[in-house]
Amino acid sequence: MTSNYNLPPTVEMPIFLRRMKFIFQPFQYLEQNAQLYGDTFSLPQKDGSSTVYFGQPEALQQIFTADPKSLETGRGSRILRFLVGDNSVLLLHGDRHQRQRKLLTPPFHGDRMRAYGMTICEIAQQVSDEWQTEKPFNIRESMQEITLSVILRAVFGLDEGNRLQKIRLKISSLLDYLSSPLLSAGMFFPVLQKDWGSWSPWGRVLYLRQQIDDLIYDLIEQRRAESNPNREDILSLMMSARYEDGGEMSNQELRDELMTLLFAGHETTASALTWAFYWVDYLPEVREKLLKEINDLGENAEPNLVAKLPYLTAVCQETLRIYPIVPSATPRIASCSMEIGGYTLPKGTWIIPSIYLAHYREEVYSQPQQFKPERFLERQFSPYEFFPFGGGNRRCIGLAFAMHEMKLVLATILSQYEVSRIDKRPLKPVRRGLTLATPAGMKMVAKPIKKVANTPVAV
């Protein structure tokens, strides 16, 4: 680096140790660096470049509104290439990214998205009805079952049958396998990504991925042959969509986007819902306010009305603020020398918009360590202060769908069950693959609620 560049304070720590802390203690790693260097700091890399973390709203605004040509984005997500493929909207950059994003966005907004409301409620009801009163169950597994069923029905158009069960089984197997500590580390250390056959750790990942690919390609071919114009699942909508030149998505493009939706929209929402149930149980006053709001709406309320409840929305927002499922937004790489947040960064600098650091700024969120949904009722936060789904032209296209799903699942279950943890000790996030989640063994019990004179009472 030349003296012309003005980089933020540099983290003094060996690269290997730094990486291990990032993998196994991600939030503590960010907190320690912020305490020592502030919420803007740089990490030197082996090739002489730097990675710079930003948590200030002013700097984040500069990043999210910058000319896309000055910041390369697709390369920052290459760690996901083995899973989602080269055509995923997550890995594309520039015109190709905008072209694909424009094609994928419509099904996740407006009437299309709201049409899935009843489906979400039905699936949440079916899964929670399987709970046995007072018998401990793994809440995360239940949330994964719900979110995977929603994805398979809304995105793939699968309601039942052998193909549905095969895809469900293979996806669950791959996700559980990737969440192990060894495979979590393997994603960040390419040297561990060696295929020594299906018996080896990474070979097993590739074997499971290939099985899922075969099922997805079979489904695409069947759907093309079927050619049913009345289907409203997202796969069918993507197949009927056309680029500006009149072209359609290839089978490979469809596969890559389906895998993207599967793994970006299933795991993340399941983790967020698990945290929401944790906080609702951990803070009884939150549960009481939430139940009152849901109850005041009356029984059999339309899903779209439920999704508009302000306190329910605030609970979901605060859940995503306090423990964001992904601690940072999509990395950007400077395509030229540029100034951000008062620092001059050379070409090739990796720029990390830190969701976690932004969500814990005292200047923005008073008592940021406290779970306080009311903060979202008292003021509206800018997209540079609250951005759990990323920002700028890389903001998650499934944002509205994920929030809609979270609210409807919570309302459906909490209106009928009091869900509480067995072990009441506070929990901290742990790494689960590329995301951060509750510890795997978190158990809860459910008691049906009996409503007496419009007041819910656990029985």
Domain boundaries, the chain: 15-458
Mean pLDDT of all residues in 165-192 = 77
Closest CA to 175 of 162, 164, 184: 184
Read off the tokens for 121: 């409620």
Residue 244 banded pLDDT, cuts 50, 70, 90: confident
Structure confidence at residue 2 (pLDDT): 45
10 Å CB burial of residue 176 (0-12, 13-18, 19+) is middle
CB within 8 Å of 77: residues ≥ 6 apart: 88, 90, 91, 330, 331
Alpha carbon 365 to chain centroid, angstroms:
22
Continuous H helices in 4-93: 15-24, 26-37, 57-64, 81-84
Q: Is the pLDDT of residue 182 over 70?
A: no
- 83 and 177 in contact (C-beta within 8 Å)? no
Mean pLDDT of all residues in 182-190 = 69
Residue 243 banded pLDDT, cuts 50, 70, 90: confident
Report the distance separating Cα 174 and Cα 168, nearest Å.
10
- 267 and 432 in contact (C-beta within 8 Å)? yes
pLDDT tens track for 7-48: 899 998 888 888 888 888 888 899 999 999 998 999 998 888
Side chain identity at residue 177, one-letter code: Y
Mean pLDDT of all residues in 153-177 = 82
Mean pLDDT of all residues in 226-238 = 81
Residue 273 banded pLDDT, cuts 50, 70, 90: very high
pTM: 0.92
In degrees, rounded to 5, the angle at the alpha carbon of residue 260 between the alpha carbons of residues 258 and 261 is 65
Q: Is the pLDDT of residue 261 over 90?
A: no
Look at strands 71-72 and 435-437 and give their pairing.
unpaired
The 8 Å CB, 24+ separation contacts for 418-426 are 418/287, 418/446, 418/447, 418/449, 418/458, 419/139, 419/277, 419/280, 419/281, 419/444, 419/445, 419/446, 420/281, 420/444, 420/445, 420/447, 421/278, 421/281, 421/282, 422/136, 424/282, 426/282
pLDDT tens track for 128-153: 999 998 899 999 999 999 999 999 88
Mean residue pLDDT across the chain:
88
Structure confidence at residue 459 (pLDDT): 42
Structure confidence at residue 114 (pLDDT): 75
Q: Is the pLDDT of residue 57 over 50?
A: yes
Q: List the strands of the sheet with 332-334, edge to edge.
A: 40-44, 50-54, 350-353, 332-334, 71-72
Mean pLDDT of all residues in 401-419 = 95
Q: Is the pLDDT of residue 254 over 70?
A: yes
Report the distance separating Cα 182 and Cα 201, nearest Å.
8
Mean pLDDT of all residues in 226-237 = 80
The sign of the dihedral angle between the CA atoms of 109, 111, 112, 113 is positive
Structure confidence at residue 185 (pLDDT): 67
Under DSSP, the state recorded for 339 is E
Q: Which of 236-245, 335-344, 367-376 has the lowest mean pLDDT?
A: 236-245
Alpha carbon 68 to chain centroid, angstroms:
23
Closest CA to 421 of 283, 319, 315: 283
CATH of 15-458, picked from 1.10.8.100, 1.10.630.10, 3.40.640.10, 1.10.3470.10, is 1.10.630.10
Phi, psi values for residue 154, rounded to 5°:
-75, -40
